[in-house]
């Protein structure tokens, strides 16, 4: 269900033009639920601003000044300001961080160090993809965030479910030599 600030999956004020079918959706998950095929979010090349209805590919002809993101995508300054006010920090097109997040990642590190997971979740891992460096990693799961082991970003997405680490085999830690029993001697 789309609204002026996104859908049930994302808070954003734009629509992605699906490269597979040319239809506009708030996110790939909304697209995939409606269509009989999946949208590759990394192939999206056009974004329509929900505020001004301008296709961002045509931002060069807009009278509103553009903001250049670190990923080189362009947003209207007004759209960028709205994005920041809403607490969003990612490019709506490619999902790279829209500005330097080092201070925020440091704060998340602190929060995680002060918030241990419950016993049943300690030692649990998950596979992630990093939206900043595109690395695929297996990292320790935490509800506050999963840090990319390649670049240190928390701008990550979980790929699949949780991975339970195997419990140590207690028999493997004991002496595995067979016991030798002395045969009774005959006199």
Residue 7 has pLDDT above 60, yes or no: yes
Is-contact 80 44, C-beta < 8 A?
A: no
Euclidean distance between CA atoms 82 and 86, whole angstroms = 6
Query: Which range, 82-86, 126-130, 158-162, has the best average confidence (pLDDT)?
Result: 126-130
What is the percent of the chain where pLDDT is above 70?
A: 83
Decide which of 2.60.120.380, 2.20.28.10, 3.40.50.720, 3.20.20.70 is the CATH code for 116-164: 2.20.28.10
The DSSP H or E segment spanning 17 is strand 14-17
pLDDT of residue 177: 43
Q: Enter the DSSP assignment of 19.
A: T
Q: Enter the DSSP assignment of 109.
A: H
Q: In angstroms, how far is CA 72 from the centroid of its own chain?
A: 20
Domain edges within the chain: 14-85, 116-164
The phi-psi region of residue 10 (left if phi > 0; otherwise alpha if psi is between -120 and 50; otherwise beta) is beta
Residue 174 has pLDDT above 90, yes or no: no
Q: In angstroms, how far is CA 172 from the centroid of its own chain?
A: 38
pLDDT of residue 76: 86
pLDDT of residue 61: 73
Is-contact 7 32, C-beta < 8 A?
A: no
The DSSP H or E segment spanning 74 is strand 74-76
For the beta carbon of residue 176, count every other beta carbon within 10 angstroms: 7
């Amino acid at each position: 269900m789309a609204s002026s600030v996104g859908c049930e999956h994302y808070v954003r004020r734009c629509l992605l033009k699906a490269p597979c079918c040319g239809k506009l959706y708030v996110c790939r998950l909304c697209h995939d639920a409606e269509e009989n095929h999946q949208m590759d979010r990394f192939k999206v090349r056009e974004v329509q601003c929900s505020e001004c209805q301008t296709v961002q590919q045509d931002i060069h002809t807009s009278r509103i000044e553009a903001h250049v993101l670190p990923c080189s995508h362009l947003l209207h300054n007004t759209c960028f300001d709205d994005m920041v006010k809403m607490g969003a920090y990612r490019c709506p097109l490619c999902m790279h961080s829209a500005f330097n997040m080092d201070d925020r990642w440091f704060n998340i590190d602190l929060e995680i160090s002060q918030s241990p997971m419950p016993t049943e979740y300690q030692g649990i891992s998950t596979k992630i993809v990093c939206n900043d460096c595109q690395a695929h990693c297996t990292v320790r799961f935490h509800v506050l965030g999963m840090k990319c082991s390649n670049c240190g970003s928390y701008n990550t997405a979980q790929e699949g479910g949780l991975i339970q680490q195997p419990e140590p085999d207690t028999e493997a830690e004991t002496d595995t030599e067979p016991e030798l029993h002395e045969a009774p001697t005959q006199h």
